[in-house]
């Protein structure tokens, strides 16, 4: 009996010791219940987590991200759109447009993104593309431009009316990364409530964003788009920012998508941080005497890494051979910097030659004389 008592006393002690050995800041683990998922960092495009991210699948209403960015880039956001009968008759989610009403394209994009209006999608497509087929052509053209290699759009809303309307989590993250660089899209995507004038009533239409991450579930959310059809199931794109880290999450066929996105974001924010690999300005470690203290990069380069990855960067400089015939006509771009992360090339940037301004060429006496003249007012009018 005493031996059994000793065993029961020893077990809690052992458990306590084991727990003490576990680091308090354990590395966060990534997980998503969705069939396909991805977490991407905005500035670099680095994939921080993926699950079947390159598998073509149905995407439902996250299609409307492409519809929105094409409408925004059309330059016609202030134009009035006449709503057709075919737009009003579109099945599924709606902002309840009225046949023949005239509504600003900007308001249609808000209705498209916040309430997922399929009627708004058709009205946008007919106005911007000239026809439904014309707009779908623009969608696929833009997809090719962005690099969405496993995507084909067949409509502007994402309904299951075509068998070949497919994309991947990776491609939708690429699209979102592209769209979030547009200030208008970023504002609309992150809007919680929008009001639009009603054509026949004295009150405004009020559209509340369906993205529950944005409206209350997750404080760091900055935007996104929801989606659902019977065949695609739940799809979701969202964006979030914490500190200097901007992240994009996509899930396809995700029954627990809100929690999937929160879990991916929390793991991403705990595991990664942005590191400045190359600062903007003068390149200080240039060995060539001709270029020393005279060449620079016009913007910095940052990259998301874990604490253990910080030492894996390598920078190479490829410079033009100085040419005696250049004299003062030195090219603006005299080389490029190539940044490697491990064995992977992650960035190429032009290197600029610092042209000497005329003021810098002036002698000390010339600068002093000009200063004196300006003080005594010789050059002033009258």
For the purposes of burial, counting CB atoms within 10 Å of the CB of 97, is it exposed (0-12), middle (13-18) or buried (19 or more)?
A: buried
Q: How far apart are CA 115 and CA 305, in angstroms?
A: 36
pTM (predicted TM-score) = 0.84
All structural domains of the chain: 36-271 (3.40.710.10), 275-358 (2.30.140.30)
Token couple for 316? 């190479």
Whether the per-residue pLDDT at 359 is higher than 90: the answer is: no
Q: Please report which confidence band the pLDDT of residue 299 belongs to, taking 50, 70 and 90 as the band edges.
A: very high
pLDDT digits (tens, 9 = 90+) for 115-150: 999 999 999 999 999 999 999 999 999 999 999 999
Q: Nearest-5° angle of CA 301, CA 307, CA 309?
A: 60
pLDDT digits (tens, 9 = 90+) for 72-96: 999 999 999 999 999 999 999 999 9
Side-chain-side CA neighbours of residue 61 (13 Å): 29
Q: How far apart are CA 90 and CA 317, in angstroms?
A: 56
> pLDDT averaged over the chain?
89
Annotation says 354 is catalytic: no
Catalytic residue, chosen from 36, 61, 167, 238, is: 61
Q: What is the DSSP string of 184-213?
A: HHHHHHT-SEEEEE-SSSSSEEEEE-S-HI
Dihedral sign for Cα atoms in the order 132, 134, 137, 139: negative
User: Given this model, what pLDDT does residue 3 score?
Assistant: 53
Q: Which residues pair with 351 in a beta bridge?
A: 335
Side-chain-side CA neighbours of residue 246 (13 Å): 14
Catalytic residue, chosen from 116, 167, 189, 238, is: 116
Annotation says 61 is catalytic: yes
Annotation says 93 is catalytic: no
Q: Please report which confidence band the pLDDT of residue 290 belongs to, taking 50, 70 and 90 as the band edges.
A: confident
Catalytic residue, chosen from 44, 51, 64, 210, is: 64
User: What φ, ψ does residue 381 adopt, rounded to 5°?
Assistant: -70, 145
pLDDT digits (tens, 9 = 90+) for 188-212: 999 999 999 999 999 999 999 999 9
pLDDT digits (tens, 9 = 90+) for 233-271: 999 999 999 999 999 999 999 999 999 999 999 999 999
Percent of the chain with pLDDT over 90: 78
Whether the per-residue pLDDT at 27 is higher than 80: the answer is: no
């Amino acid at each position: 009996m005493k031996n059994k008592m000793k065993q029961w006393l020893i077990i809690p002690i052992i458990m306590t010791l084991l727990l003490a050995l576990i680091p308090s800041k354990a590395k966060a683990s990534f997980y998503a219940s969705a069939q396909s998922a991805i977490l991407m960092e905005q500035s670099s495009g680095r994939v921080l987590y993926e699950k079947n991210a390159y598998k073509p699948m149905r995407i439902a209403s996250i299609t409307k991200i492409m519809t929105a960015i094409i409408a925004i880039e059309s330059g016609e956001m202030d134009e009035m759109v006449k709503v057709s009968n075919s737009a009003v008759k579109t099945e599924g989610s709606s902002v309840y447009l009225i046949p023949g009403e005239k509504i600003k394209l900007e308001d249609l994009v808000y209705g498209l993104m916040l309430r997922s209006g399929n009627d708004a999608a058709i009205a946008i497509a007919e106005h911007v593309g000239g026809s439904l087929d014309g707009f779908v052509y623009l969608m696929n053209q833009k997809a090719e431009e962005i690099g969405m290699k496993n995507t084909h759009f067949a409509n502007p809303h994402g309904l299951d009316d075509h068998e070949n309307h497919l994309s991947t989590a990776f491609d939708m993250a690429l699209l979102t990364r592209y769209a979030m660089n547009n200030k208008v899209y970023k504002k609309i995507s992150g809007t919680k409530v929008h009001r639009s004038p009603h054509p026949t009533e004295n009150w405004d239409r009020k559209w509340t964003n369906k993205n529950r991450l944005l409206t209350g579930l997750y404080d760091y959310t900055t935007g996104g788009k929801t989606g659902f059809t019977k065949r695609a199931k739940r799809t979701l794109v969202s964006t979030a920012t914490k500190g200097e880290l901007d992240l994009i999450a996509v899930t396809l066929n995700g029954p627990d998508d809100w929690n999937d996105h929160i879990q991916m974001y929390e793991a991403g924010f705990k595991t990664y941080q942005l590191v400045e690999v190359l600062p903007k300005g003068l390149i200080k470690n240039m060995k060539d005497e001709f270029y020393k203290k005279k060449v620079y990069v016009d913007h910095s380069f940052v990259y998301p890494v874990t604490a253990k990855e910080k030492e894996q960067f390598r920078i190479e400089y490829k410079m033009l051979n100085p040419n005696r015939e250049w004299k003062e006509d030195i090219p603006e771009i005299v080389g490029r910097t190539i940044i490697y992360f491990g064995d992977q090339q992650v960035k190429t940037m032009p290197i600029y030659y610092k042209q000497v301004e005329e003021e810098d060429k002036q002698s000390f006496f010339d600068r002093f004389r000009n200063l004196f003249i300006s003080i005594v007012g010789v050059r002033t009018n009258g």
